Amino acid sequence: MALFQGLLLLLNPVSLIYLVLGVLLFLIFGAMPGLGGPVAFAILIPLTYTMDPISAFALLVGGHSAVMFGGSISAILINTPGTGQNVATTFDGYPLTQQGRAGEALGASATSSAMGSVVGAFFLAGMIPILRKVVLLFGPPELFLICIFGLTTIAAVSKGSFLKGLVAGVLGLLLSFVGFEPVSGDLRYTFGTLYLWDGIDLIPMIVGLFAIGEVIHLSTVGGAIAKKKIPEAAVGVLKGVKAVFKHWFLMIRCAIIGTIIGIIPGAGGAVANVVAYGHAVSTSKHPEKFGTGIIEGVIAPETANDAKDGGALIPTVAFGIPGSETMAILLGAFLIQGLQPGPEMLTKHLPFLFSLVWMIVLGGILGAIVGLSVARRLTRLTMVPFSLLAPFIIAVALLGSFSSRGLLNDVFLTVIFGFFGYGMKKYGYPRAPVVIGLVLGHIVEKNFHLSLQLFGWYFLLRPLTLVLLVMLAMVTTLPLLRKPRRRQG
């Protein structure tokens, strides 16, 4: 019943218009290498501040379902992946283009992306009844430790060193302490500034770290995003669509792989993309053809790419632990809309949760249809000098940051975080743990105080907390043990 209630919530003209708008915008950002989903999220989230939750998430979640296909367009046509999660698509996608089969590759990518979205979304729908029972086992002690576990896991699987990921996460936690202390009500770290009494707002941080920081980084590189000639992409699309259904069993297997990897916090689409491609090679009757231009080399990674979004939403909505960098930003959107992930999401907001399932399905299908029709035009954007695109992106980002609360200080904070985000990227510090630390910091502090009040320090001896402590110890020590082994080898 809730599944159909969720569909009815989405099927209104306003929400559907926002869904279409989101698909178009995320396709553009996905097709432009270096931008991608996180930057699109960072720019669009401020615009959702005054929207109703269904319209807001139709724009964000529905639109994001199209970003992976957008990234595959430039990966296939000009050998430049639109996002880091389309890397494996270039292995066979671009060789197919060189053979004059660009349309076939795009048709396969569009269909695989749509089918991956459908499988991932319905896997999420099937998990919701199970998650409703599981989350009820978690009290304040378990929620406190699972937040710490999630933050540590994100740090452990972040690109670069585990220590840098952990430093970024701790920094996010420290930033969450700015403002009123939840128990005593005392002010902390406000430096006598009234603006900081309510803490650091999530929107200026997200817009600064991802949108402004990325623009600064790309501006320092200079030139156009891509410099390769755009090939003809209209021929053979239907042949690529048929190829996906011809290899339906591979598509289903890779969708399952993507969904499972999406559930693992921090693993992300880049892992799903590469693992699915490796699975296709290892199970193929002609593995020697991979890398020379074979359609299975497009179907496998693109199916997993989109299927992982349904999986990544599972830990995000059930425990408030983002399954990927984009889910970390989306978690902020939940809080902005007054929706608290966890037991409340799975009980009080069940129809809304199922509407997210339909957003992924419709967004993935619509993204494939629209993306095929505008693929060639989208790739032309990558030839535009970034110096011309940067002012537009900065203006939209700063306007969005200001419009969320109408405070000029938010704009200044956005700029500060922009330079901070650029510095983090330059020196190899992941940015997602900072956002996760800020978001989870309030939950960590509140549940820590509740745990002490209810159980004292004995809360660490509860059965589930002991299990989580063991898992936390494993996540913390394994990255530290890897390096000595590599040196010995």
Determine contact, residues 322/149, Cβ cutoff 8 Å. no
In tens, the pLDDT along 375-417 reads 656 555 555 676 777 787 788 778 777 866 778 888 899 899 9
Mean pLDDT of the chain, nearest integer: 77
Q: What is the mean pLDDT of residues 258-271?
A: 65
pLDDT at 264 over 60: yes
Residues 292-315: pLDDT tens digits?
Answer: 888 888 888 888 888 877 777 777
What is the gyration radius of the CA atoms in the chain, in angstroms? Answer: 22
Query: Residue 487 above 70 pLDDT?
Result: no
pLDDT of residue 404: 64
Query: CB-side exposure of 151: number of CA atoms within 13 Å?
Result: 26
Query: Does 276 have pLDDT greater than 70?
Result: yes
Distance CA 170, CA 17 (A): 40
**Which of 327-331, 417-421, 440-444 tops mean pLDDT?**
417-421
- The answer to whether 296 touches 280, Cβ cutoff 8 Å, is yes
What does pTM read for this prediction? 0.66
Closest listed residue to residue 91, CA positions, set 289, 290, 237, 299 = 290
Strands 179-180 and 187-188, bridge-based pairing? antiparallel
Q: Which residue has the higher pLDDT, 47 or 469?
A: 469
Overall average pLDDT of the 173-194 stretch: 83
SS3 229: coil
pLDDT above 50: residue 202: yes
pLDDT in tens, 214-239: 788 878 866 544 444 555 444 567 78
pLDDT more than 70, % of the chain: 80
pLDDT at 192: 81
What band does 473 get if pLDDT is binned at 50, 70 and 90? confident
pLDDT score of 419 more than 90: yes
User: For 128-137, 217-226, 330-339, 478-487, which range has the lowest pLDDT when averaged over its residues?
Assistant: 478-487
Inter-residue contact 190 to 178 (CB < 8 Å): yes
Model confidence at 475, in pLDDT bands (50, 70, 90)? Answer: confident
d(CA 148, CA 171): 13
- Segment 47-54 shows an average pLDDT of 81
